[in-house]
Amino acid sequence: MDTIKVLIVGAGPSACYVVDALAKTDLPLSIDMIDRYPQPFGLLRTGVAPDHERIKSLDTYFGKILDQAPLKFYGNISFGSDITLDDVKDAYHAIFFCTGTESDNDVPGLDYSLSNVAGSRDVVEWYNGYTSQRTHFDPLSLGNNVGIIGMGNVALDIARIFLKEPVDLAKTEMPQSCIDIITQQHISDVHIFARRGPAQAKCTPLELAELLELDTIQTLLDPSSITLSDTDMVEYNETKRVQKNVDILKEVISTKSRSKRLHIHFCSQLKEAHVNDGAVNGVTMAKTILSGDPHQQQTTLTDESYHVPLTSLISSTGYKGAALPGIVFNEKTHCIPHEAGKITTQPKSSATYYCAGWIKRGPQGVIGTNKSGAKETVDSFVADVASFSSKSLQPFDLAKTLKQRNHTYYSYDDWKTQNDFEISEGEKKNKKRFKLTKITDIEHCLKTNS
Ligand code: NAP
């Protein structure tokens, strides 16, 4: 069989699992992988909290997968601008989109152009050393009293990073410049606003316990807010995650007074963000009540409301995928419509198109969830392989095309050089890793270490 030419757009966890599943097919493959970041591993590097070192260390596992595959990596390449669908549609047998999510699920009525208002993506990329696409967020305007809307794991990550002691953050791969800013802000209070109750909190027990067990913080919540209704009790009895979350929350009611405080406000939805002098300085939250069947309870606003002064406000209300030029997209689910990973509406071309990861199923689940999803997608690819021999491809050399366009890209060898440098510099600084995220720093590292 002739070599099957594959392009993978994205180099995050789902893309790595696709490579793994492809390699296990034993088919003759040649894989090009592009990513808009200069380095591989996507969200693992730009999204996972820097103090989650066990999860971050999955880069070694993914590195081995990429090492062993017949693969060429091209970092710093955006699909749709640097390389277009027209460039590649007749140059590969199969194209996999593993582009994850691009932006935040914004909260209606919040003015994200203010420097002390941000979406979680802006914040998470910032504390990982990157600058998000949209951001007006200025971490210097966080102040000491931060509000976070949402109670998923990302909200907990942000709260934990803001409340952790700088000395503990310093050991992680978090850039020292970010730690210095957090230290300067003297964050003493973080408020988490969940629009539903404790039984509906989206976070997972491990992450909730990790935050509430920080020995520098006191958790404050109204005991009456964790009283469960009959419908909540059904959810509690039927779901281990709910049971554990609620039990963990019950335990914190009597924590000792400490210098940093985490306030958890349940059944609270944003009514108004108050702006003064171009900055949010507080919120009015409306109390909600829940109704509906177990596991499907939704909120209704009540007339009861309360005011909380804040120095900044972050929405952590989930992410959403973005449409890719030329690829049919569902604007409601923010995913690419597909059947078992094969894109439903195939663009007219020689290539057959697939998707995996969050662009396939939405932003749910942990990194490992991508493994079975990638396998399903690759199974669909394998089922199509026999048809590939009838497709005649146009000659195309990605490296040559990028060079002709004077577009700088970073190869997998470049990444290995950076990786070695980051780890050895990290050791010198007593950090897990000394991260390079700016192109100028990457160029300098490659010049001096290649
Ligand atoms: P998420 O789990 O979907 O949580 C989103 C939160 O925002 C929920 O509390 C949701 O409340 C709330 N929300 C949504 N729209 C809202 C609105 N308009 N107003 C007020 N609240 C609103 O999203 P995420 O935290 O971004 O996490 C994304 C995925 O990454 C999840 O699967 C998560 O588990 C995963 N993750 C895992 C880890 C880890 O394993 N350590 C760390 C980070 C992220 P409702 O429930 O009421 O909709």
Do 213 and 263 lie in one domain? The reply is yes
pLDDT of 383 = 98
Q: How confident is the model at residue 256 (pLDDT cuts 50, 70, 90)?
A: confident
Residue 224 CA, distance from chain mean position: 33
Q: Which of 274, 294, 319 is the last residue of a domain?
A: 319
The domain of 391 spans 4-102+321-410
Q: How confident is the model at residue 69 (pLDDT cuts 50, 70, 90)?
A: very high
122-162 pLDDT, tens digit each: 999 999 998 766 668 899 999 999 999 999 999 999 999 99
In whole numbers, what is the pLDDT of the chain averaged over residues?
A: 95
Q: Is the CB of 202 under 6 A from ligand 1?
A: yes
Q: Is the CB of 342 under 6 A from ligand 1?
A: no
Do 98 and 110 lie in one domain? The reply is no
Tokens of 64: 């081995």
Q: Is the CB of 343 under 6 A from ligand 1?
A: no
Do 313 and 327 lie in one domain? The reply is no
- The alpha carbon of 223 and the centre of ligand 1 are apart by a number of angstroms equal to 23
170 belongs to a structural domain: yes
445 belongs to a structural domain: no
- The alpha carbon of 54 and the centre of ligand 1 are apart by a number of angstroms equal to 21
**pLDDT over threshold 70, residue 254:** no
Residue 399 CA, distance from chain mean position: 29
Can you name the residues that pair with 307 across neighbouring β-strands? Answer: 284
Q: Is the CB of 147 under 6 A from ligand 1?
A: no
Q: Which of 278, 303, 319 is the last residue of a domain?
A: 319
Do 291 and 302 lie in one domain? The reply is yes
**pLDDT over threshold 70, residue 37:** yes
DSSP characters for 253-311? GGPPP-SEEEEEE-SEEEEEEEEETTEEEEEEEEEEEEESSTT--EEEEEEEEEEEE-S
Tokens of 234: 């059904």
**pLDDT over threshold 70, residue 31:** yes
Q: Which of 303, 319, 335 is the last residue of a domain?
A: 319
Q: Can you say whether residue 10 is alpha, beta or left, with left for phi > 0 and alpha for psi between -120 and 50 degrees?
A: left
Q: Is the CB of 153 under 6 A from ligand 1?
A: yes
Q: For the sheet containing 29-35, what is the strand order?
A: 71-75, 29-35, 4-9, 94-97, 352-355, 342-343, 338-339
Do 306 and 330 lie in one domain? The reply is no
Q: Is the CB of 101 under 6 A from ligand 1?
A: no
- The alpha carbon of 2 and the centre of ligand 1 are apart by a number of angstroms equal to 45
Do 185 and 295 lie in one domain? The reply is yes
- Mean pLDDT of all residues in 340-359: 97
Sequence-ordered alpha helix ranges (H) in 70-136: 85-88, 120-127
Q: Is the CB of 197 under 6 A from ligand 1?
A: no
Do 249 and 305 lie in one domain? The reply is yes
- The alpha carbon of 93 and the centre of ligand 1 are apart by a number of angstroms equal to 36
- Residue nearest ligand 1's atom 11 by CA: 150
The reported pTM is: 0.96
